[in-house]
Amino acid sequence: MSAAERAYGTLYLLPVWLGDVGGTEQLPVQNIEVLRSISLFFTENEKTARRMLRRMDPSIDLPAQEMHRLDKDTTMHEATSLLQHMKGGRDAAILSEAGMPGIADPGARLVHAAHLAGVEVVPLTGPSSLFLALAASGLNGQQFTFHGYLPVKTPERKAAIKRLEQEITRTGGAQLFIETPYRNDAMLNDLLTTCSPDILLTVAIDLTQPGGSTITRSIAAWKKRIPVLGKRPAVFILGRG
């Protein structure tokens, strides 16, 4: 074990729920045990984090938990500075706003800093909307690319969709992306008006939550039954069977 590894504690990646419904029965026992063994957390939003900790362990002493901001504006220099709180062998955890830290999440910057410093990083098992959607889609789980958010403005977004379709034709890989919930229906409209009729589209919405669903249809079939998605968390996937 290196001097750096002895100097720092372990950085855990602690997954949380994908929505407001769910209890500890949806999380591995190991996650709760880790939670109870630490008091140092890095998170995007302290209020959300405290609510998640209370859901995991109703008896937790919230005032005793130390929170530090880790969001999209956190620089690499700031992430490196956050590791100083782990000196002396103090374990810590990253909490995402939803799902798995580091996946479509700013926690990746602190994880990168941890690797550079020789800090042990341990991912814990938990929900990831991207992988749940892909697994349930029936699309290419052997080759896929996640693109994050597509452009906001319609012309640029349609151009990006066209590029994804070209990538599907070239490689056969599934193309995953997400959208801010209030733009879900605009995204769906652009997909239906841009993609070829035979392209397959998966819409996975409210995963692990009541009323959630994952549906894969051709663009032609979606046009016959266009749903209103509303402001619910969704993952979109384009591909071929």
Residue 241: what pLDDT? 84
Domains of the chain: 3-123 (3.40.1010.10), 129-239 (3.30.950.10)
Token pair, residue 118, equals 């020789």
H/E element, 19: none
Residue 52: what pLDDT? 96
Taking only the tens of pLDDT, the chain with its 241 residues reads 554 446 999 999 999 999 999 999 999 999 999 999 999 999 999 999 999 999 999 999 999 999 999 999 999 999 999 999 999 999 999 999 999 999 999 999 999 999 999 999 999 999 999 999 999 999 999 999 999 999 999 999 999 999 999 999 999 999 999 999 999 999 999 999 999 999 999 999 999 999 999 999 999 999 999 999 999 999 999 999 8
DSSP-assigned letter for residue 151: P
Residue 171: what pLDDT? 97
* SS3 letters across 100-140: CCCCCCCHHHHHHHHHHHCCCEEECCCCCHHHHHHHHHCCC
With contact defined as beta carbons under 8 Å apart, do 93 and 35 qualify?
A: yes
Alpha helices in the chain (DSSP H): 3-7, 29-37, 46-56, 76-82, 107-117, 129-137, 154-171, 184-194, 219-224
With contact defined as beta carbons under 8 Å apart, do 239 and 174 qualify?
A: yes
With contact defined as beta carbons under 8 Å apart, do 95 and 52 qualify?
A: yes
| Residue 228, φ and ψ in degrees, nearest 5 | -100, 115
